[in-house]
Structure 1
Amino acid sequence: MRTLYFDCFSGISGDMVIGALIDAGADPLQMEEELKKLSMVEEYTLSWGKVVKNGITSTKFDVILTSKSEQTHEHSHNHGQEHSHGHSHSHGHEHSHGHSHSHEHKHSLGHEHNQSHVPHNHHGSRTYKQIVEAINEANFNESVANMSLAIFKKIGEAEGHIHGLPLEKVHFHEVGAVDSIIDIIGAAILIDQLGIESVQSSAIPTGSGHIHIDHGIYPVPAPATLEILKGVPIASNDIRSELATPTGAAIAAVLAETFGSLPAMTVESIGYGAGTKTFENHPNVLRVIIGEIQ
């Protein structure tokens, strides 16, 4: 059985998942083509390339919004690591590493769209219902649609529980942002493309400390992340930073059938997906291991 194992020793986020899957051999150009079915292509560009994190060559994936005003708007709503992709400050730094360490293909889609005006309501205030409609109207294959819908439902139910709202009334700020929509559906596209039949994961470290989100200063893990991880083993560590984002936690919580150590398997490919942050004593990457379980 072709199995994907998430080795989350430094946490998990949506962009780390996609970076790791690309690093393991998935085809980002095919993902890019599939994502055009969402009719959101003028709202973002995609970027990926090699970076070195504490000695480990890994792939950094970014979704860059095409309106500066919207980048500022989304940044104010972030939960931390995942949405501080560097829309305003760290993007160039990450990608200068990408160019200097490797000749790896660095692809950006639709530069001609960068000057296009995107209405403010396109970003930041999508409802759960709008996201479901967008996925259903896109005509993805059944596997991609089902994975994407299940992940959004997990996050929507968590947000609704925290804010005291029914699912259909949930408005997505962080997760409704274009970058998270792309992260979730893109991950589903790549997992489907790789022919993965089962998913397993390590326990999920959440990190510790405090973060600033749109509702104020909150403890790590953020309430939505903790709600999403109910029933999932959480690993402890002493890093004072947000390691698991709501999107990353939901991808693991929904897709992984079991949580634990690396299963007995014949390893076929390995990928490292870089996070935005850099830590002194360990590489901030997500490792994915793909192989056959007998």
Structure 2
Amino acid sequence: MSIIYFDCFSGISGDMIIGALLDAGLPFAELEQELAKLNLTNFQIKSEKVVKKGVSATKFSVSTDEHHPHRHLGDIRKIVQESGLEEPIKETVLQIFGRLAEAEGKIHGVNPEKIHFHEVGAVDAIVDIVGAVVGLHKMNITRVFASPLNIGGGWTQCMHGYIPVPAPASLELLKGIPIYNGGVNRELVTPTGAAIISTLCQDFSDLPVMIPTQVGYGAGTAELHIPNLLRVIVGEKNHQHDHTHHGHRHHEG
């Protein structure tokens, strides 16, 4: 029973989440074993140590020979439902994809069920989303917290051409969440990262009072003038501190 805090000073993406969890102690073999339950054959996963601006981190990557798949929400549902994953994992993964479909649908003016998932329907995006949920589940994380999100700025390229950062679908997913542009001119929060964190996180604010037990750094691909890392802090909530500071404990729904 642990809590996790995502420190998103350089944004968040699916692969950075998995890299950070592996760095904080999630066994790679366990992740591999779970992802094999997806019955998708054409992908390989890799975990390597890298250094970003003097900080050692784990870089997680997925390689696939799949070209421009056009999956719908129904296709993704079928892959997840027919997998050997545990029910709570399936449920959370489908919730994340449902949010993504809704956001994409709204942006493109199309029914969410009819959305052609381009980038996010590809095998690597499916692996990133499932891997992130699996990792949190296997690490017995019961509550997720995060900092406000540094979203970056400028322009990014997608299948439709150049679009402003944050990508419209990402911004749709980030409604109600504190975001800021920390002066980096590129996309720091991907639609996958936005979908995962907006579905799982209870509260976006400063670091809660907690006792850290594990810390991990997940690396992004680009070299930036800041460390392109996602930091995770895993630990226990310090209820004793809550008790003394608030006079009473807040009842958690």
- The two structures have a TM-score, normalised by structure 1, of 0.79
Q: Report the counterpart of residue 96 of structure 2 in structure 1.
A: 151
Listed one character per residue, the Cα deviations across residues 70-129 of structure 1 (whole Å, up to 9, x for unaligned) are 4xx45xxxxxxxxxxxxxxxxxxxxxxxxxxxxxxxxxxxxxxxxxxxxxxxxx211111
Q: Report the counterpart of residue 50 of structure 1 in structure 2.
A: 49
Listed one character per residue, the Cα deviations across residues 179-223 of structure 1 (whole Å, up to 9, x for unaligned) are 000000011111000000100111111100011111111110011
Query: What amino acid maps onto 2:236 in structure 1?
Result: E
Offset of residue 134 of structure 1: 1.0
What is the rounded CA distance, in whole Å, between the counterparts of 1:217 and 1:129 in structure 2? 28
Which of 231, 241, 259 pairs up with 2:204? 259
Q: Aligned with 1:160: secondary structure?
A: helix
Q: Report the counterpart of residue 229 of structure 1 in structure 2.
A: 174
What is the rounded CA distance, in whole Å, between the counterparts of 1:54 and 1:7 in structure 2? 17
Q: Report the counterpart of residue 151 of structure 2 in structure 1.
A: 206
What is the rounded CA distance, in whole Å, between the counterparts of 1:200 and 1:134 in structure 2? 29
Stretches of structure 2 lacking an aligned partner (at least 5 in a row): 240-253
Q: Report the counterpart of residue 108 of structure 2 in structure 1.
A: 163
Which of 194, 210, 225 pairs up with 2:139? 194
1:29 matched to 2:61: no
CA contact (8 A) 2:38 2:85 kept: no
Counterparts of 1:82-101 in structure 2, within 5 Å, are none
Q: Report the counterpart of residue 61 of structure 1 in structure 2.
A: 60
Q: Aligned with 1:62: secondary structure?
A: strand
Q: Aligned with 1:251: secondary structure?
A: helix
Query: What amino acid maps onto 1:17 in structure 2?
Result: I
Aligned residues: 238
What is the rounded CA distance, in whole Å, between the counterparts of 1:181 and 1:19 in structure 2? 16
Q: Report the counterpart of residue 95 of structure 1 in structure 2.
A: none
What is the rounded CA distance, in whole Å, between the counterparts of 1:212 and 1:137 in structure 2? 33
CA RMSD of aligned residues (A): 1.1
Q: Aligned with 1:261: secondary structure?
A: coil
Offset of residue 235 of structure 1: 2.2
What is the rounded CA distance, in whole Å, between the counterparts of 2:195 and 2:34 in structure 1? 22
Q: Aligned with 1:197: secondary structure?
A: strand
Offset of residue 139 of structure 1: 3.1
What is the rounded CA distance, in whole Å, between the counterparts of 2:6 and 2:87 in structure 1? 23
Counterparts of 1:171-190 in structure 2, within 5 Å, are 171-190=116-135
Offset of residue 169 of structure 1: 0.6
Q: Aligned with 2:216: secondary structure?
A: strand
Q: Aligned with 2:206: secondary structure?
A: coil
Offset of residue 173 of structure 1: 0.3
- The two structures have a TM-score, normalised by structure 2, of 0.92
Q: Report the counterpart of residue 107 of structure 1 in structure 2.
A: none
Q: Aligned with 1:277: secondary structure?
A: coil
Give identity over the alignment, percent. 48
Q: Aligned with 1:291: secondary structure?
A: strand
Stretches of structure 1 lacking an aligned partner (at least 5 in a row): 75-123
Listed one character per residue, the Cα deviations across residues 117-152 of structure 1 (whole Å, up to 9, x for unaligned) are xxxxxxx21111110111111131122112211111
Offset of residue 242 of structure 1: 0.5
| Bigger strand share | 2
Q: Aligned with 1:35: secondary structure?
A: helix
Q: Aligned with 2:25: secondary structure?
A: coil
Q: Report the counterpart of residue 283 of structure 1 in structure 2.
A: 227
Q: Aligned with 2:119: secondary structure?
A: coil
What is the rounded CA distance, in whole Å, between the counterparts of 2:178 and 2:6 in structure 1? 13
